Amino acid sequence: MENFDRKILVTGGAGFIGSHVVRRFLTNYPNYLIVNADKLTYAGNLANLSDVEHLPNYRFEKIDIVDAEAVKGVFNKYGITDVIHLAAESHVDRSIEGPMEFVMTNVVGTVNLLHTAKDAWKGEAHVFHHVSTDEVYGSLGDTGLFTEATPYDPRSPYSASKASSDHFVMAFYHTYHLPVKMSNCSNNYGSHHFPEKLIPLMIHNIQNKKPLPIYGKGDNIRDWLWVVDHASAIDAIFHKGRIGESYNVGGLNEWTNIELVKFLCKVMDEKLGRTTGESESLITYVTDRAGHDKRYAIDASKLEKELGWKPSITFEEGLSKTVDWYLSNHEWVEKVTSGSYQEYYETMYGNR
């Protein structure tokens, strides 16, 4: 194997957040070998990395992390020195329809990676960075923020599976002294996002003059983090974060779903040359999601104090960049919205 300083396995590197992490590490650290391991489910798309896949420090392995032998094989093939673990089933609605897939990928897959790393790494300097979500903390009332000390209180099969994986990561740290680091992030948005999540779904529907389905009254509150900033936070934690610590990563802004969608309609009316209010008229309220958490908001002050990280742009700027990307990447959107995605969309939203 070529002489690289580190050989980092990035799981889920063809997905939304993963592809941004892979791109950042490939371009910022040419002395690192980046091995992207992805199962290529509906949300994993190698076209997300078409601009960097030619780089000499990039490798791709199509594996399912639930397959322990496949994980071991990749570790042995490349002599993996570090892991950034992003591979996960992540859509709450899908977890309500079928929780077992979430248990397999998010829990069993994580334990396979931990176990393989434990056996492969003997006392040298390594990092196992586990990327998780703020949803493990449950739901907030009107005030307060999630901190790293907030007790876990997951409310959906998705967040329960991620909470379990977080506990296994820390258990491997305490039991086997595996050099782990953990981060829990708020809702991400940005380019290359599969259009089942709120922002890319709304952009796609506004563009095509389709209804904009809003759960309940649209008063659920989320903290939004630009995915490029999330990748920079992962970089900072991976390189400078303390072993055995977790760091919350947030965008330091809160929006109700309805206010966000109305703002997005306004932005898109301007960019598409539509009359003001035209897109907003597409808003349609649908039956609320089961166990829909009221509010998420993150206190990211530990990350700022210890590692000097904070978001680089405002939500308004990030959203404008995101809309521009989707409007100028029709082909990417067309490819990912064909076929099975359409059937899923009908099941989840068509009959509400």
Give the catalytic positions in this structure: 134-135, 158
In angstroms, the CA 237 to CA 41 distance is 27
In angstroms, the CA 111 to CA 225 distance is 28
In angstroms, the CA 74 to CA 67 distance is 11
Greatest pairwise CA separation for the chain in angstroms: 63
* C-alpha angle 26-15-169 in degrees, rounded to nearest 5: 85
* Cβ proximity of 106 and 85 under 8 Å: no
Residue 147: count other Cβ atoms within 10 Å of its Cβ: 13
* C-alpha angle 272-273-279 in degrees, rounded to nearest 5: 65
In angstroms, the CA 291 to CA 215 distance is 12
In angstroms, the CA 122 to CA 104 distance is 27
Residue 255: count other Cβ atoms within 10 Å of its Cβ: 20
Angle formed by the axes of helices 257-272 and 198-207, nearest 10°: 40
Provide the β-strand partners of residue 127: 82
Find, among 156, 191, 176, the residue nearest to 290 by Cα: 156
